[in-house]
Chains A and B, each alone.
Chain A
Amino acid sequence: MELNAVTIGFFVFTILTLGGGIGVVTTRNLFQGTIWLMVSLFGVAGYFVLLSAPFLAAVQVLVYIGAIAILITFAVMLTRSVTRIKERYIRTIPSFVASLALFLVLLFGITVPIFGDYPSEMAPTVVMTTRDLGVALVEGNGYVVPFLLASVLLTAAMIGAIFIARDEES
């Protein structure tokens, strides 16, 4: 493999993503766990940069690190004994089965396109720009219906959250 900036970047982001993931599941401290989660998500944002998708990278940082992870820290701080968790998750057999199944699915999903009969589909030659993405989201023969449906769904969820959270009297 040629050692250039992209390869080095890929290694760095892989270490961040996987290391962050290992950090999340091994730490005994919930707050540190959320920080590790952010590290992992940051690594994923790096992958988007390497794939020439800067828009998705920025959205990844903005939405996942800037908003969702902050909300998780809020939730973590409202729980008791943030730092010293004694209980361990001990149901090893279901976890083993689930992780094995996930591993096999990923293995299948990754190896088949690379070594199978149809490798050409994996490499789109046209690099899409942010403008293309924006046009695809609002174009009639693009993704306008899924985009609108997602917007309606999010709005409905937000209204529902407000409805549940507000006081009975007012």
Chain B
Amino acid sequence: MQEFFYMDGKALYVWGSYGVTLVALLAGLALARLRKKRILREIKESLEQ
């Protein structure tokens, strides 16, 4: 198990690559979700006026 995280001593590079990729992919989805909420709120506010 320890060996798995150690990655031949290249842990920083290997886990850094996977980390940055997963963060970027998840951020893409999260930002899109936020934007949808914002647009819906804007439309609802304009409806109430």
Chain B associates with chain A: no
